[in-house]
Homo-oligomer: A and B are copies of this chain.
C-alpha cells in the first residue's frame, strides 16, 4: 500500500490527500464540499473530543445544544458578524417536497415557502445570545459557561478534507460574564487549555498570541489563537478564543442587574476547535509511508501481528497472544491483535504503518520458541527483537518516548524554519523561497498588513505572547514596530 502514497517532495498537497484516503480517515461525499469521516478518522476525533470535554468540565463548563437553524434576520444584528458569516452559507427556503406532477421524481413544493429563511449555522453566537436574553436577569445568573459539540456549515468554494470543508464538526463555547475582566480571563483560560491540549495530547508545539484586526473573528474585540507549524512551512490556526466584549449582548439586548443594582450589558466570549485538528495532526507528524500518530491520540496504540501458517499455527500462538494482549490492556493501552487469515503479514505491516499505529509487535514461529517478539516504532521506523516478558513494562514507556520524540521533532522543525528577517528582501526571500515562519517587525497598521499580504500571500498569524523581542522598524514601511510578529502563509 505505502508505495502508492505520493512523496511529500513531489507534491505536498497530493501527499496529504492520498494519505487521508489511504489511511481510511475521510473521503469526499456526493455532496459538494462535505466529507464522510470514516471510522478510523472518526476514532481520532472521538479521542480529541473525550479529552477536550474532560478539560472543559474540569474548568467548570457544561454542555448544551442549540438549534442548527438561525433565522436570517439574526445574522444582521451584529454589524461586523454579518460581514464575516452571512455571505457563504446554506439557506433553507422551503419545508416540503412533493411528487413532480410530470412524474419525474420529487420537486420543491412552492407553496411551502418559509416566511423567513433559515441559515444552517456557520457559528452559533446569534442564536445563543438570543436565548441567553431570557436566561439572564441578575449577576446571580452569571457566569454561564456553556459548550456545544455540533456540526456547522460554511459554503467554502475550495475545500480540502479536514482542513476546509463545507460541513465540519467542532465544539463552540459561549460564555456570559458580569465583568470585562472575568470574560478576558475566560478567553485566556481557554486559549491556554487549547495550547496545553495541542502540546500534551497532539504533540503539536503551538505559538499563542492575539490576532490583528484584519484576522479577528467577525464580532470580536480580541481574538486569541494558537498557531502550529506544518511540514511544508505554512501555518495552521488550530484553535481560537474570542473576547466578544458587549457586542453580542448589545445586539441581542442582554442586560443584567449587578450587585449594586445597576443595569449593564453582559460580557461574552466564544471559542472553538474543529475537525481541522486532524489535518494539523497529519501535516505535522506524518511521513511518506503514511500517518504518524502521537500515542496519546492514537485509537490503536499497539498492534500485535502473529506470523503463522494455517489453523494449527495460529492455535499454537493463541495463548501467547492473549496473555500479551491482556497484560498490555491492563497497563491501560489500546491494543489490537490482527490475526486475520485473509491478509498476509506484509500487507498488514504496510497498512498499520499507513494508519500510523505507534507500535507494532510481530511474533513469528521462531519468536514463539525463543520467547521473543519484534517491536517496531512508527516514528523512527526502527525495529528490535526483545523478550516477550519484558513487553508489558517496555511498551508503556516506549509510547511515552514516542510521544515526546514527536513533540521534540515538530518543535525542532519549527525552530529550524523560524526566521528573523530584518528587512524586506530577507522577508520576501523567506516567504517566497525558503518557506517557514518569519518573525518580523511590523508597524501594526491594517494598510501595511494588507500590502504585505498582496505582495507575498503571507499574513500576520498572531502577535505572539512574550518573546517579541525589542522594538524596531517595520520591514515594509520602516515605521516604528513594538516588536516582532509572526508572519507566514497559512492554511
Chain A interfacial positions (CB closer than 8 Å to B) = 29-31, 34-39, 42-43, 45-46, 62-76, 82, 86-98, 105-106, 108, 117-120, 127, 130-131, 140, 146, 150-151, 153, 155, 167, 169, 342
Q: How far is the CB of A282 from chain B (nearest CB, A)?
A: 17
A63-B46 in contact (CB<8A): yes
Q: How far is the CB of A393 from chain B (nearest CB, A)?
A: 28
Copy count, this protein chain? 2
A92-B95 in contact (CB<8A): no
Would you list the 3 A-B pairs with minimal beta carbon distance, nearest first? A34-B67, A37-B65, A39-B62
> Contacts of A98 on B, CB cut-off 8 Å?
87
A167-B39 in contact (CB<8A): no
Q: Which residue of B lies closest to A134 (CB)?
A: B27
Q: How far is the CB of A219 from chain B (nearest CB, A)?
A: 15
B30-A127 in contact (CB<8A): yes
Q: What would 13 more interface pairs be, CB under 8 Å, given A93-B94, A108-B117? A: A29-B131, A34-B68, A35-B67, A36-B64, A36-B67, A38-B64, A39-B63, A68-B151, A68-B167, A69-B90, A90-B92, A91-B92, A92-B92
> Contacts of A169 on B, CB cut-off 8 Å?
65
What is the bound-complex CA distance between A120 and B63, given in angstroms?
A: 24
What is the bound-complex CA distance between A90 and B91, given in angstroms?
A: 10
> Contacts of A43 on B, CB cut-off 8 Å?
62-63
Q: How far is the CB of A400 from chain B (nearest CB, A)?
A: 26
> Contacts of A72 on B, CB cut-off 8 Å?
97, 105-106, 108
What is the bound-complex CA distance between A222 and B104, given in angstroms?
A: 28
B93-A89 in contact (CB<8A): no
Q: Which residue of B lies closest to A75 (CB)?
A: B106
Q: How far is the CB of A314 from chain B (nearest CB, A)?
A: 18
Q: How far is the CB of A402 from chain B (nearest CB, A)?
A: 24
B95-A91 in contact (CB<8A): yes
> Contacts of A31 on B, CB cut-off 8 Å?
67, 69-71, 118, 127
B119-A97 in contact (CB<8A): yes
> Contacts of A74 on B, CB cut-off 8 Å?
30
Q: What are 26 A-B interface contacts by the 8 Å CB criterion?
A: A29-B67, A30-B127, A30-B130, A31-B71, A31-B118, A31-B127, A34-B69, A39-B146, A43-B62, A43-B63, A68-B68, A68-B153, A69-B167, A72-B106, A72-B108, A75-B97, A87-B96, A87-B97, A87-B98, A91-B94, A91-B108, A92-B92, A92-B120, A93-B93, A93-B108, A108-B117
What is the bound-complex CA distance between A22 and B29, given in angstroms?
A: 42
Q: Which of B42, B66, B127 is within 8 Å of A65, CB to CB?
A: B42
Q: How far is the CB of A115 from chain B (nearest CB, A)?
A: 9
B36-A131 in contact (CB<8A): yes
> Contacts of A37 on B, CB cut-off 8 Å?
64-65
Q: Which residue of B lies closest to A155 (CB)?
A: B95
> Contacts of A151 on B, CB cut-off 8 Å?
68, 150-151
